[in-house]
Amino acid sequence: MLPLESVKLNAENLLHLLDLMSMNSAKLQGEQLDRLLGLALNLSGDIQQWFEQENKRREQLN
């Protein structure tokens, strides 16, 4: 499982990446856009995976 600090950093990176993409959406195209969207998906996947594992861990405690 990812440490909480790593998940927090991924969430912050995702926020900043999406903000940057939003501000520059008219300039982004083609491969550049595809790579940035891939990075965003990877960051969000890491966060989702952590939440799923944390939820299972908490369910086992109850």
DSSP type of residue 26: T
Q: Which residues fall within 8 angstroms of residue 18, CB to CB, at 6 or more apart?
A: 40
39 with 17: CB under 8 angstroms? Answer: yes
pLDDT digits (tens, 9 = 90+) for 9-51: 999 999 999 999 999 989 989 999 999 999 999 999 999 999 9
Return the closest-CA partner of residue 40 out of 2, 1, 11: 11
Predicted structure pTM score: 0.79
pLDDT of 21:
94
* Greater pLDDT, 3 or 20: 20
